[in-house]
Amino acid sequence: MAQLVECVPNFSEGRDKKVIDAISEAVSATPGCSLLDVDPGASTNRTVYTFVGSPEAVVQGALNAARQAFSLIDMSRHSGEHPRTGALDVCPFIPVQNVSMDDCVHCANMFGQKLAEMLHVPVYLYGEAARSEARRSLPSVRAGEYEALPDKLKQEKWAPDFGPAEFVPSWGATVTGARKFLIAYNVNLISTKEQAHRIALDIREQGRGKDQPGLLKKVQGMGWYLEESNIAQVSTNILDYEVTPLHAVYEEVCRDAENLNLPVVGSQIVGLIPLKALLDSANFYIQRDRLFVIEEEHKVRLVISKLGLDSLGKFNPRERIIEYMVRSQEDGHLVSLSLRQFVQSVGARIAAPGGGSVSAAIAALGAALGSMVGQMTYGKKQFENLDSVMRRLIPPFHQAMNELLHMVDADSSAFNSYMAALKMPKNTTEEIQRRETAMQEGLKNAVGVPLALAERISLLWPTLEEMVMYGNIGCKSDAQVAAKALETAVFGAYYNVTINLKDITDDRFRGAMQKRASELLQEAKDSTASILDAADKRK
Q: Is 133:81 a contact under the CB 8 Å cutoff? A: no
CA angle 538/365/490 to nearest 5° reads 85
In three-state secondary structure terms, 148 is helix
How far is residue 446's CA from residue 411's CA, in Å, rounded to a whole number?
7
- State the catalytic residue, choosing from 82, 106, 247, 398: 82
506 catalytic, yes or no?
A: no
> Which amino acid is residue 33, in one-letter code?
C
CA dist 164 and 153 (Å) reads 9
Helices 355-375 and 387-422 pack at an angle, to 10 degrees, of 170
DSSP 89-124: EEEEEEEEES--HHHHHHHHHHHHHHHHHHH---EE
- What is the SS3 assignment for 276? helix
Q: Is 337 helix (H, G, I), strand (E, B) or coil?
A: coil
Q: How many residues are present in the chain?
A: 539
In a 13 Å sphere around the CA of 432, the CA atoms on its Cβ side amount to 3
Residue 481 CA to residue 227 CA, distance in Å, equals 60
Does 478 qualify as catalytic in the annotation? no
Q: How far apart are CA 154 and CA 163, in angstroms?
A: 14
Residue 353: asked if its preceding bond is cis (omega within 30°), the reply is yes
Q: What angle do CA 49, 52, 58 make, to 5 degrees?
A: 90
Is the separation of the CB atoms in 447 and 502 below 8 Å? no
303 vs 190: CA distance, rounded Å: 21
Q: What's the helix, strand, coil split of the chain in %, to 5?
A: 55, 15, 30
| 123-127 and 174-178 beta bridge pairing | parallel
Nearest to 403 by CA among 459, 467, 329, 330: 459
At 38 the three-state DSSP class reads strand
Catalytic residue (one of 89, 202, 409, 411): 411
Q: What are the catalytic residues?
A: 82, 411
